[in-house]
Chains A and B, each alone.
Chain A
Amino acid sequence: MSEATEGSTQPATWRYVNAAQPAQQLISRTLTQIAGFALLAMTSKRPLALAEGALLGAQQASLQAIEAVRALEAHGGASHHLHHLRQAAAMLRQACASALRCLGPEASEGEREALVRALRATSHHLRATARLLPGFELVDLHRACCAAHASQLRLCEA
């Protein structure tokens, strides 16, 4: 069990979890939006007419995320979690900037590579936050068909 998980029953850790969840969710949503735009841009022969405005919105969200994680405090095992959350926010900001440069078919190979690297790094750090402490799951398995029965499973086993 990780040090973070071992400490996860401590009140300080739970305060951190409650404070950090909105920031992590904001990063996750914004990452998906930017990656979604990137995917549309890379698979379309035409420039994305509405993307610039939407990406500026994502950039705003990334700045909010950076401010939110800057305000967090963590001790003990949660410190490692906060490290990954801060890295995720920083990489997200880079991904936004790269995505804006990549709008349109003239984006260079280097710019596209930089975007992919930033997206990959953001995803890596987000995955770490999901792994290190409960409450940061990136997929809502309760809304997945395969998991809709979870509470029933526990009922059957009780």
Chain B
Amino acid sequence: MADYSIWVLEYAAVEKFPFSVMLYGPMHQGTRKLPYGYALLKGKGETILIDTGYDHVAFGKQLAESYGVSNYHGPREVLAECGVKPEEVTSVLITHAHFDHMGAIHMFPNAKFYLQKSELDKWVWALTLGQEYRFLTGGGDPADIVRAVEAAKEGRMILIDGDKEDVLPGIDVHLAADTHTFGSMYVVVRNDGARDSADKWIFAGDLIYTYDNLTGLDPANPQFVPIGLAVGSQQNLIFSSAEMLKAAGGEVRRVIPVHEDRLHEIFPSRLTDRGLQVVEIALANGDKSRVS
């Protein structure tokens, strides 16, 4: 009996993304489609997002013209595919403070937001180091932190200090310190509500971009291969990948990378008339399928 219905909703994509960024290694290994998406969970009286996407008004044109990001659709259209309006979102778990994960918090006026304290602490610290260290803070947008302050003033911003069980019913978060960012976190949904759950789904944020980060490319000789971008270290990325896979009981498909284009081949899915994938990870009892 599943507590939450869970979907991964595509909202934009890069059609030809270099594989060597997704799986750190030799250059010029071809390209793959890189979808942008967020996870939507409904159940237990909550409507939850994992991450928000980017601020299309501020960055859409540049991302489209210079970086090939295409077919953007905003939260109102994307969430409508699952019968949800942005104002109905009750909680947003922000895996990390990069502009494309935290950039649209202003579009969810009734949500509470959850972010790791160390993500913010160390970003602020890194800014004191001087311009020559700006690699460490490059993916963050000051406007997102200002909006977070506005949300905090309304009591809608919660900073989490490390691992925390039951942030929301049946949902735990785990700090992956000094990995892709200073305070990235991954989300574990125990979808049967049990502490020792047999039905866990792990949402990886940008700790992995593809299932291949968990397995490598040689099925006979699996290995963890980190993504390319780490403000922390690739060692920490590798150990976080191992933790997530262990949390999933070794079942690779249960560690969900929203940037993985093959999700629609592994789970029931539907291509909308806007050309976006709706991937149905789980369906709560009595809930309506959005892909069949």
Name A residues whose Cβ lies closer than 8 Å to a Cβ of B: 25, 28-29, 31-33, 35-40, 42-44, 54, 57, 112-113, 115-116, 119-120, 122-123, 126-127, 130, 137-150, 152-153, 156
| Docked complex: B248-271 residues within 8 A CB-CB of A | none
- Provide the residues of chain A in CB contact with B18, threshold 8 Å: 148-149, 152
**A32 contact from B36, B124, B206, Cβ within 8 A:** B124
| Given A146-B63, A147-B67, also A32-B142 (CB < 8 A) | yes
Q: Assess whether B128 is in contact with A140, with CB atoms less than 8 Å apart.
A: no
A6 nearest CB across to chain B (Å): 17
**A35 contact from B62, B137, B146, Cβ within 8 A:** B146
**B138 contact from A36, A44, A143, Cβ within 8 A:** A143
Can you name 6 A-B pairs with beta carbons within 8 Å? A29-B127, A31-B146, A139-B141, A144-B99, A145-B206, A145-B229
Q: Assess whether B34 is in contact with A146, with CB atoms less than 8 Å apart.
A: yes
- Provide the residues of chain B in CB contact with A146, threshold 8 Å: 14, 17, 34, 36, 63, 67, 69, 100
For B, the interface residue count at a CB cutoff of 8 angstroms equals 52
Q: Which of B16, B121, B152 has the most CB of A within 10 A?
A: B152
**A147 contact from B58, B63, B141, B227, Cβ within 8 A:** B63
Residue on B nearest A26 in the bound complex, by CB: B131
Please measure, in the bound complex, the distance between the C-alpha atom of A28 and the C-alpha atom of B137, giving whole angstroms: 11
Q: Assess whether B142 is in contact with A153, with CB atoms less than 8 Å apart.
A: no
Q: Which of B14, B17, B145 has the most CB of A within 10 A?
A: B145
B56 nearest CB across to chain A (Å): 13
The interface-forming segment of B153-161, B166-174, B188-196, B282-290 is: B153-161
Residue on B nearest A31 in the bound complex, by CB: B142
Q: Assess whether B159 is in contact with A43, with CB atoms less than 8 Å apart.
A: yes
* Interface flag for B21 (CB, 8 Å): yes
- Provide the residues of chain A in CB contact with B36, threshold 8 Å: 146
B182 nearest CB across to chain A (Å): 12
